Amino acid sequence: DAGVTQSPTHLIKTRGQQVTLRCSPISGHKSVSWYQQVLGQGPQFIFQYYEKEERGRGNFPDRFSARQFPNYSSELNVNALLLGDSALYLCASSRGGDTAYFGPGTRLTVL
C-alpha cells in the first residue's frame, strides 16, 4: 500500500504570499494531522482533521487554516507568509485515534 503522500516536495515563496500544501492519507485512513518543523526542532502540531471536522488545533495564528475533503485528503493553507514560516511541513494519517504515519513533508522556503 502507498504511504502518505504530500505535494509539492519543495516550494519557494516570498513574504506576503499565500501557499497551499496537499496531503493524501494512506488508503482507509480517515484522520489527517499537520505539523510544522523548523530547522533544529521537533515537529509542532498545527491541526488534526477527522471525517472532515477539525478535532484539534495547535498554537498557530489564524493565518494557518486547513480542510479535509470527502476522500480524506487535506490541504493546509498559510496566508501572508512570513520568513519564520520557512519549515518542513509534515502530514500524518491514521485510522482515527491510533498510530499516525507521516509523509515525507513539503519543504517551504519563504524569501
Partner 1 sequence: DAKTTQPPSMDCAEGRAANLPCNHSTISGNEYVYWYRQIHSQGPQYIIHGLKNNETNEMASLIITEDRKSSTLILPHATLRDTAVYYCIVRSDFGNEKLTFGTGTRLTIIP
What DSSP element (H or E) covers 36?
Answer: strand 31-37
CB of 16 to partner 1, least distance (A): 26
Please report the sign of the dihedral spanned by the C-alpha atoms of residue 45, residue 50, residue 56, residue 57.
positive
CB atoms within 10 A of CB 58: 14
76 or 105, CB closer to partner 1?
105
- Cell 488508503 belongs to 27
43 or 81, CB closer to partner 1?
43
Contacting residues toward partner 1, per CB under 8 A = 4, 31, 33, 35, 41-45, 48, 50, 55-56, 58, 88, 90, 92, 94, 96-105, 107
Instruction: Compute the distance between CA of residue 38 and CA of residue 87 in angstroms, rounded to an integer.
Output: 5
CB of 105 to partner 1, least distance (A): 5
CB of 103 to partner 1, least distance (A): 5
62 or 98, CB closer to partner 1?
98
Q: Which three cell numbers stand for residue 90?
A: 509534515
